[in-house]
């Protein structure tokens, strides 16, 4: 079902945690709420779930206003941070926990949905961490909720497992046609998994957009630097051209001009022979296999981290030139600190 959160505020004593948070998730979409620690993500999720009351605002699931309803009447499924299975109940009984008696068929269907068919008799300690997380997902989906909420569901898994489990979770949510909200502070997780990314800051959603749009057209400099890496330089802009220490660069069209700052993405930098582009000295080369990151200190002492192909022909101490490819993001001065 469609989820619409409108202008929700919430304070704990004198701490105003939510300051007018609004979020719309279309039916069948997976939205990632992405924000730094303490910005209010978990509080927002708990308010949608009904574990916490809101001060003002509204929460609609489908065509129902649910803000005044208890959690069990909201048709919300929850996948907590750690799978939090009942240790003394079998996998099947964990999945069937919120279902009426005699729902064995639905339990098996949900186990199948998450790829754990035939594992229902096992106890939680007899399956891996990734499988436990899938059981938690099956448990959340079993009562056919209108909305599924996932609170940092991969944070307890180690890195190598996290990537595969998150692909599986996305696939399961899509197969189930679920409308889902995932809370995370991991931008890679948000960008790679979600249909829409909602960037949260200080109790508000400041931008809600497709992952590629949030990255390419961030609402302000804060979003630009939070979602993805960026080198930020002082600049002036006129007629769609931003001038900074790396030269006069075409500006991504946003109609803004004047004094301000440009944000350049690591993949926009191109390393050239000395004499071409802006001169600098290679400080560090980080090799990742498929690509590499090269840190270059310009003669002005500005530090730039460029993403390049893995086969970097440069070593620390080499002199290089830096060129910039593609349009840059420009934010006017008052906007830069918005
Ligand atoms: N029950 C509560 N009583 C008092 N303060 C609370 C309560 N719950 C949350 N807070 C405060 O609200 C703020 C936001 O917390 P919240 O857990 O929503 O943030 P978050 O963005 O989910 O952070 P994290 O990523 O670290 O989990 C924090 O400053 C927290 O201390």
Query: Is the domain of 42 the same as that of 130?
Result: yes
Q: Which residue puts its alpha carbon closest to atom 28 of ligand 1? A: 38
- The DSSP 8-state label assigned to residue 157 in this structure reads S
Look up the domain containing 97 and give its range: 3-223
Q: How confident is the model at residue 67 (pLDDT cuts 50, 70, 90)?
A: very high
Alpha-carbon span 41 to 19, nearest angstrom:
12
pLDDT at site 228: 87
Question: Using H for helix, E for strand and C for coil, what is the string for 248-278?
Answer: EEEECCCCCCEEEEEEECHHHEEEECCCCCE
Query: Is the domain of 236 the same as that of 199?
Result: no
Q: Please state, for a pLDDT cut of 90, what percent of the chain lies above it.
A: 74
Residue 74 half-sphere exposure toward CB, CA atoms < 13 A: 27
Any ligand 1 atom below 6 A from CB of 12: yes
Alpha-carbon span 98 to 316, nearest angstrom:
59
Q: Which atom of ligand 1 is nearest to the CA of 13?
A: 4
Centre of ligand 1 from the C-alpha of residue 22, in Å:
18
Check whether 207 has a pLDDT greater than 90.
yes
Any ligand 1 atom below 6 A from CB of 40: yes
Task: State pTM to two decimals.
Answer: 0.88
Any ligand 1 atom below 6 A from CB of 39: yes
In sign, the C-alpha dihedral spanning 84, 88, 94, 100 is negative
Q: Which atom of ligand 1 is nearest to the CA of 42?
A: 22
Check whether 122 has a pLDDT greater than 80.
yes
3-state secondary structure of 330: strand
pLDDT at site 306: 94
Instruction: Work out the average pLDDT over 279-294.
Output: 92
Model pLDDT for residues 1-44, shown as the tens digit of each residue: 999 999 999 999 999 999 999 999 999 999 999 999 899 999 99
Return the best residue to mutate from 9, 12, 32 for the ligand 1 pocket (most ligand atoms within 8 A of CB): 12
Instruction: Work out the average pLDDT over 301-323.
Output: 92
Q: Which residue puts its alpha carbon closest to atom 11 of ligand 1? A: 17
Total domains, the chain: 2
Check whether 103 has a pLDDT greater than 90.
no
Query: Is the domain of 215 the same as that of 123?
Result: yes
Asked whether residue 338 is domain-assigned, the answer is: no
pLDDT at site 201: 94
pLDDT at site 161: 79
Model pLDDT for residues 224-259, shown as the tens digit of each residue: 999 988 999 999 999 999 999 999 999 987 778 899
pLDDT at site 301: 92
* CB neighbour list of residue 255: distance below 8 Å, 6 or more residues apart: none
Model pLDDT for residues 318-334, shown as the tens digit of each residue: 999 999 999 999 999 87
Any ligand 1 atom below 6 A from CB of 207: no
Centre of ligand 1 from the C-alpha of residue 157, in Å:
22
Query: Is the domain of 172 the same as that of 266?
Result: no
Query: Is the domain of 163 the same as that of 17?
Result: yes
Q: How confident is the model at residue 125 (pLDDT cuts 50, 70, 90)?
A: very high
Asked whether residue 66 is domain-assigned, the answer is: yes
Instruction: Work out the average pLDDT over 76-103.
Output: 89
Check whether 273 has a pLDDT greater than 70.
yes
pLDDT at site 253: 77
Model pLDDT for residues 141-192, shown as the tens digit of each residue: 999 999 999 998 888 778 877 888 888 889 989 988 999 999 998 898 999 9
- Average pLDDT score over the chain: 91
Choosing from 192, 223, 254, the residue where a domain stops is 223
Asked whether residue 337 is domain-assigned, the answer is: no
């Amino acid at each position: 079902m469609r989820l619409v959160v409108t202008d929700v505020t919430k304070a704990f004593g004198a701490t105003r945690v939510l300051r007018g948070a609004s979020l719309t998730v279309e039916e069948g979409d997976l939205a990632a709420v992405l924000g730094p620690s303490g910005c209010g993500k978990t509080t927002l999720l708990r308010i949608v779930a009904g574990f916490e009351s809101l001060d003002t605002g509204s929460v609609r699931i489908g065509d129902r206003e649910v803000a005044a309803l208890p959690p069990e009447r909201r048709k919300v499924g929850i996948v907590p941070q750690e799978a939090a299975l009942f240790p003394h109940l079998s996998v099947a009984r964990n999945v069937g926990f919120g279902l009426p008696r005699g729902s064995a068929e639905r339990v098996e269907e949900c186990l199948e949905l998450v790829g754990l068919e035939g594992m229902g008799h096992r106890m939680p300690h007899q399956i891996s961490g990734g499988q436990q997380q899938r059981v938690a997902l099956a448990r959340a989906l079993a009562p056919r909720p209108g909305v599924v909420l996932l609170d940092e569901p991969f944070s307890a898994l180690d890195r190598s497992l996290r990537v595969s489990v998150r692909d599986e979770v996305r696939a399961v949510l899509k197969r189930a046609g679920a409308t889902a909200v995932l809370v995370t502070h991991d931008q890679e997780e948000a960008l790679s998994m979600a249909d829409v990314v909602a960037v949260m800051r200080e109790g508000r959603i400041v931008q809600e957009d497709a992952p590629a749009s949030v990255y390419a057209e961030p609402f302000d400099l804060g979003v630009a630097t939070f979602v993805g890496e960026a080198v930020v330089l002082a600049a002036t802009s006129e007629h769609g051209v931003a001038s900074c220490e790396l030269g006069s660069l075409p500006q991504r069209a946003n109609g803004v001009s004047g004094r301000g700052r440009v944000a350049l993405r690591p993949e926009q930098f191109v390393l050239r022979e000395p004499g071409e582009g802006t001169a600098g000295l290679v400080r560090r080369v980080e090799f990742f296999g498929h690509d590499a990151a090269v840190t270059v200190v310009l003669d002005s002492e500005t530090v730039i981290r460029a993403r390049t192909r893995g086969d970097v022909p440069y070593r620390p101490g080499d002199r290089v030139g830096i060129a910039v490819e593609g349009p840059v993001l420009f934010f006017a001065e008052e906007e830069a600190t918005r």
